[in-house]
Structure 1
Amino acid sequence: MYGALWRIIPGPWPVKALVMLALVAGIAYALIWHVYPWVMQTFFPTPDATVE
């Protein structure tokens, strides 16, 4: 998969490395800030318990 992405991205290797780094950062951002919180709220709801 990474080889296919590397061949698809145009430009010399420094440009390819920068684009790959940006892709990885974008995917990590999307997972941490959007996907994981949605999964936690949807599939693992917190109990509505209070401590007296």
Structure 2
Amino acid sequence: MSHSLWRPGNRGRCAVSLVAYGVGQVPWYDGRDGMYSWIWRHLPGNGWVRALISLVLITVVVYVLFQYVFPWAEPLLPFNDVTVDNQ
């Protein structure tokens, strides 16, 4: 006799016997959506429009990081303070 964790009419993400214990199918899934799924749900348009808007957003974030944030933070980081012995 095969015992299935799934009921025939259950189309949810979690197995029936595991839901009562708060355990999902994957160990890292705790019922909350991540940041990227929240952004994806709130973007307008269909999948292609959302993908295009996502690429534009990523490009803008990378541009701002390289043009403003990283040059501002460079003097604060000790990457140029290296000591190499002559051998």
Q: What is aligned with 2:48?
A: 14
Instruction: Structure 1 unaligned segments of length 5 or more: list them.
Output: 47-52
Larger proportion of helix? 1
Secondary structure of 1:27's partner?
Answer: helix
1:10 shift after superposition: 1.0
Give the partner amino acid of 1:28: V
- Structure 1 vs Structure 2: percent identity of aligned residues? 38
Instruction: Structure 2 unaligned segments of length 5 or more: list them.
Output: 1-34, 81-87
Higher-Rg structure is: 2
Moved over 3 A (4+): none
1:4 shift after superposition: 0.4
1:1-52 matched pairs, under 5 angstroms: 1-41=35-75, 43-44=76-77
TM-score using structure 1 length: 0.77
Q: Distance in 2 between matches of 1:6 and 1:27?
A: 16
Q: Distance in 2 between matches of 1:44 and 1:13?
A: 40
Higher RCO by CA contacts (8 Å cutoff, separation 6 or greater)? 1
Q: Distance in 1 between matches of 2:68 and 2:46?
A: 33
Matched residue count: 46
Q: Distance in 2 between matches of 1:6 and 1:23?
A: 11
Secondary structure of 2:44's partner?
Answer: coil
